[in-house]
Structure 1
Amino acid sequence: MNRHAMTYHRTLAALLLPLLPLALTACGSGGAPTAPAQRPPLEGAAIGGPFTLVDKDGKTVRWQDFAGKYRIVYFGYTFCPDACPFDVQAMMMGFNRFAQAHPGEAAKVQPIFISIDPRRDTPAVVGQWTAAFSPRLLGLTGTPEQVAGAAKAFAVYYAKGKDTTGGYLMDHSRIAYLMDPEGKPLAMLPVDKGVADKGAAVAAELEKWVK
């Protein structure tokens, strides 16, 4: 991870740390302790906002098009040799596991992959890549300006990395955001758990917040 990425993650941590739920108990009128309702860990964070991108067919897609749906949002790129495929596989394994157990709730969720490499990730390329993981996963790309605007709205870091024999790499943050039906942030899905648990950690987090 380069110096800019480290600075980004320290900034993001400083933003999110005060929003983490506190382990507190309250006393009821009878004196017995009662646990407060759990609050979303990202509640109140300045994450998410309007964007205009395109799907695999070149059709314009806007953030407001998903109003009324929960959204899973991950930024990455299709030429990524390891992190993105592993993260997205874990994300979709968890979503599919959640969908099998709770089909009604899963119908309210739209998983979204947004490319941070618009130079190579054309609509067709993104569409083919996302289809390999799930027909439910919507792949989006756009102009460099459109992608930059979307990434800024979601506090996502990315930058062109080193050149390799197979082409350049991209440095980027690895976060799968769960957003509520109003487009407000709820939590970060634990895609870092990988696929070893077959998506159990991601599915558990979805069960916690998607109602």
Structure 2
Amino acid sequence: MNILRRLPLAAALLLAACHGGSAKPGEPPLAGAKIGGAFSLTDQDGHQVTDRSFAGKYRIMYFGYTFCPDVCPTDMATVGQAMALLAKKDPALAAKVVPVFVTVDPERDTPAVLKRFVAAFSPTMVGLTGSPQAIAALAQAYGVFSGKGETQPGGGYLVNHSRATYLMDPDGKPLALLPADKGPQAVADEIERWAK
């Protein structure tokens, strides 16, 4: 859609190369990249959640917003379908992976709004929101761009944001970018490739 949506991929690859993360054969492509970080946000049930809440689990980290007319629901449907494929093929591995949707529009994406959104895609998906400052800090840690777009007829607005689906290890370190644009099977295959 927008060139800004491709920035995290380029940034992640550059970061990996700059930080000794150029993957050796058999090593995850984002190994050593400085992506991710600590956070304290609110989930779709209104509970405080930190990065430590997911310790021991692989995480699929995606930044978007529930009012997105196209890309976010499409990507989340792909992630949800990939998790279903994984659960059918390898239930033990699927149980170790948590898909996480972080809003870049905390003004509108309350826990109740997030709950309806993530429930539409996967029973294991977690939706996170928080203060604009907390969201901005986490987005920056992931190299994610976002900014309010033009007001639409009726008073709503779009949010311009970059598009990347990160697979993080159980310690919160980056492993790979998941190819959400290539469909559920490609995402499931990439998770199986790097998650053990």
Q: Structure 2-normalised TM-score?
A: 0.90
What code does the residue aligned with 2:175 have? L
Describe how 1:107-186 pairs up with structure 2 within 5 A. 107-165=95-153, 167-186=156-175
Describe how 1:66-105 pairs up with structure 2 within 5 A. 66-105=54-93
Q: Which runs of 5+ in 2 are unaligned?
A: none
SS in 1 for 2:106: coil
Counting aligned pairs with the same residue, the percent is: 51
2:190 aligned residue: 205
CA-CA distance at 1:137 after TM superposition:
0.5
Q: Structure 1-normalised TM-score?
A: 0.84
Could you tell me whether the CA contact under 8 Å between 2:12 and 2:35 is conserved in 1? Answer: no
SS in 1 for 2:117: helix
CA-CA distance at 1:170 after TM superposition:
0.6
1:66 to 1:7, Cα distance in 2 relative to 1, 3 A = closer
Aligned-residue Cα RMSD (Å) equals: 2.0
Larger Rg: 1
CA-CA distance at 1:11 after TM superposition:
4.3
1:168 to 1:210, Cα distance in 2 relative to 1, 3 A = same
Counterpart CA distance in 2 for 1:182 and 1:66 is: 8
CA-CA distance at 1:6 after TM superposition:
7.4
Q: Which runs of 5+ in 1 are unaligned?
A: 23-35
